[in-house]
Chain A
Amino acid sequence: MSLEYTITYSTKNTYENIVHSAHWQFLIIPETNETQDFVTTNFSNSLAAINEFSINGYGFNTIRVNPRKAFQEITFTAEFKVVKKEINPFKFNLSDNSKLDYQELDSLNFKVDFEQYLKNTPFTTLPDGTNGLFQLDYSKSIFENLTNLNQWTYNHIYFKVDVTNVHTILEDIITKRHGVCQDFAHLFCAIARAYQIPARYVSGYLHQGNGYFGDSQMHAWVETYIPNVGWVGFDPTNNILVAADHIKVCHGKDYQDCAPLKGIVYSEGQNETQYSVQVISQQQ
Chain B
Amino acid sequence: MTNIENKIFSAYQRDSALYDEIFDEDGTIKQVYQKLFNLYGEHTIEDYVKLNSKAKSSFFNQGITFQVYGDKETKEKIFPFDLFPRIIDPEEWEVIEKGSIQRSKALNLFLWDIYHDKNIIRDGIVPMDLISSSVNYLDQMNGIDPPGGIYNHISGIDVIKHKDGKYYVLEDNIRCPSGVSYVICNRTALKRALFGVFNHYQTYSVTNYAENLLDLLESVKPKGVDIPNCVVITPGMYNSAFYEHSYLAKTMGVELVEGRDLFVENDFVYMKTIKGPEKVDIIYRRIDDQFLDPLEFKSDSAIGVPGLFAAYKKGNVTLANAPGTGVADDKAVYTYMPQIIKYYLGEEPILNNVHTYHCSRPDELKYVLEHIHELVIKPVDEAGGYGISIGNRLTKSEIELVKAQIKASPRKYVAQPIMSLSVHPTYIDETEEFEQRHVDLRTFTVLGKDKEFVLKGGLTRVALKKGNLIVNSSQGGGSKDTWVLKNK
Residues of A within 8 A of B (CB): 23, 25, 50, 52, 54-59, 62, 64, 66, 108-109, 111-112, 115-116, 118-119, 253, 257, 262, 264
Query: By the criterion CB–CB under 8 Å, are A108 and B121 in contact?
Result: yes
Q: Is B200 an interface residue (CB 8 A)?
A: no
- Chain A nearest CB from B415 CB (Å) reads 25
B122, B138, B310: the one contacting A54 at CB < 8 Å is B310
Query: By the criterion CB–CB under 8 Å, are A55 and B128 in contact?
Result: no
- Mask for B285-315, Cβ within 8 A of A = 1, else 0? 0000000001110010000001101100110
Query: By the criterion CB–CB under 8 Å, are B296 and A109 in contact?
Result: no
Q: Hey, which chain B residues are within 8 Å of A109, CB to CB?
A: 122
A56 with B267: in contact, given A111-B128, A112-B122, A112-B128 (CB under 8 Å)?
no
Give Cα A25 to B309, complex, Å: 13
Instruction: Rank and list the top 10 A-B pairs by shortest CB-CB distance, nearest first.
Output: A57-B140, A23-B306, A119-B132, A25-B295, A54-B310, A57-B296, A112-B118, A264-B294, A112-B121, A116-B139
A23, A50, A112: the one contacting B307 at CB < 8 Å is A23
Contacting residues of chain B (131-185) with chain A, CB-CB under 8 angstroms:
131-133, 138-140, 142
Give Cα A115 to B114, complex, Å: 11
Q: Hey, which chain B residues are within 8 Å of A262, CB to CB?
A: 294-295, 299
Query: By the criterion CB–CB under 8 Å, are A118 and B132 in contact?
Result: yes
Give Cα A62 to B309, complex, Å: 13
Q: Is B81 an interface residue (CB 8 A)?
A: no
Q: Is B62 an interface residue (CB 8 A)?
A: no
A54, A57, A58, A108: the one contacting B267 at CB < 8 Å is A54
Q: Which residue of B lies closest to A257 (CB)?
A: B139
Q: Give the residue among B138, B266, B295, B307 with the most A Cβ atoms within 10 A.
A: B295
A115 with B306: in contact, given A58-B140, A64-B295, A108-B121 (CB under 8 Å)?
no
Query: By the criterion CB–CB under 8 Å, are A116 and B266 in contact?
Result: no
A52 with B295: in contact, given A23-B306, A109-B122 (CB under 8 Å)?
no
Query: By the criterion CB–CB under 8 Å, are A108 and B131 in contact?
Result: no
Give Cα A116 to B131, complex, Å: 10
Give Cα A36 to B309, complex, Å: 27
Give Cα A191 to B132, complex, Å: 17
- Mask for B308-340, Cβ within 8 A of A = 1, else 0? 011001100000000000000000000000000
Query: By the criterion CB–CB under 8 Å, are B139 and A23 in contact?
Result: no
State which size class the interface on B falls in. 20 to 34
Give Cα A154 to B485, complex, Å: 73
- Chain A nearest CB from B66 CB (Å) reads 30
Query: By the criterion CB–CB under 8 Å, are B294 and A56 in contact?
Result: no
Query: By the criterion CB–CB under 8 Å, are A23 and B294 in contact?
Result: yes
- Chain B nearest CB from A24 CB (Å) reads 9
Give Cα A66 to B262, complex, Å: 13
Query: By the criterion CB–CB under 8 Å, are B132 and A264 in contact?
Result: no
A62, A108, A264: the one contacting B122 at CB < 8 Å is A108
Query: By the criterion CB–CB under 8 Å, are A66 and B306 in contact?
Result: yes
Task: Count CB-based A-B contacts (< 8 Å).
Answer: 70
- Chain A nearest CB from B314 CB (Å) reads 7
A66 with B128: in contact, given A112-B118, A119-B133, A262-B299 (CB under 8 Å)?
no
Q: Which residue of B lies closest to A116 (CB)?
A: B139
- Chain A nearest CB from B363 CB (Å) reads 21
Q: Which residue of A lies closest to B142 (CB)?
A: A116
Q: Hey, which chain B residues are within 8 Å of A116, CB to CB?
A: 139, 142
Give Cα A158 to B132, complex, Å: 32
Give Cα A264 to B307, complex, Å: 12
Q: Which residue of A lies closest to B124 (CB)?
A: A108
Give Cα A262 to B267, complex, Å: 17
Query: By the criterion CB–CB under 8 Å, are A115 and B267 in contact?
Result: no
Q: Hey, which chain A residues are within 8 Å of B307, CB to CB?
A: 23, 25, 52, 54, 64
B140, B142, B263: the one contacting A66 at CB < 8 Å is B263
Q: Which residue of A lies closest to B118 (CB)?
A: A112
- Chain B nearest CB from A214 CB (Å) reads 26
A50, A55, A118, A119: the one contacting B313 at CB < 8 Å is A55
Q: Hey, which chain A residues are within 8 Å of B265, CB to CB?
A: 50, 52
Q: Hey, which chain B residues are within 8 Å of A64, CB to CB?
A: 264, 295, 306-307, 310
Give Cα A257 to B267, complex, Å: 20
Q: Hey, which chain A residues are within 8 Å of B138, CB to CB?
A: 57
Q: Give the residue among B128, B133, B139, B299 with the most A Cβ atoms within 10 A.
A: B139
Q: Which residue of A lies closest to B265 (CB)?
A: A52
Give Cα A55 to B264, complex, Å: 13
Query: By the criterion CB–CB under 8 Å, are A115 and B313 in contact?
Result: no
- Chain A nearest CB from B138 CB (Å) reads 8
Query: By the criterion CB–CB under 8 Å, are A57 and B299 in contact?
Result: no
Contacting residues of chain B (232-268) with chain A, CB-CB under 8 angstroms:
263-267
Give Cα A253 to B124, complex, Å: 25
- Chain A nearest CB from B327 CB (Å) reads 12
Query: By the criterion CB–CB under 8 Å, are A58 and B124 in contact?
Result: no
Give Cα A111 to B310, complex, Å: 28
Query: By the criterion CB–CB under 8 Å, are A57 and B309 in contact?
Result: yes
Q: Hey, which chain A residues are within 8 Å of B313, CB to CB?
A: 55, 57, 59
Query: By the criterion CB–CB under 8 Å, are A52 and B266 in contact?
Result: yes
Q: Hey, which chain A residues are within 8 Å of B306, CB to CB?
A: 23, 25, 64, 66, 264
Contacting residues of chain B (45-75) with chain A, CB-CB under 8 angstroms:
none
Give Cα A108 to B131, complex, Å: 14
A50, A56, A111: the one contacting B296 at CB < 8 Å is A56
- Chain B nearest CB from A181 CB (Å) reads 22
- Mask for B260-284, Cβ within 8 A of A = 1, else 0? 0001111100000000000000000
Q: Hey, which chain A residues are within 8 Å of B267, CB to CB?
A: 52, 54
Give Cα A56 to B313, complex, Å: 9
- Mask for B342-372, Cβ within 8 A of A = 1, else 0? 0000000000000000000000000000000
Q: Which residue of B lies closest to A57 (CB)?
A: B140
Contacting residues of chain B (82-129) with chain A, CB-CB under 8 angstroms:
118, 121-122, 124, 128
Q: Which residue of B lies closest to A24 (CB)?
A: B295
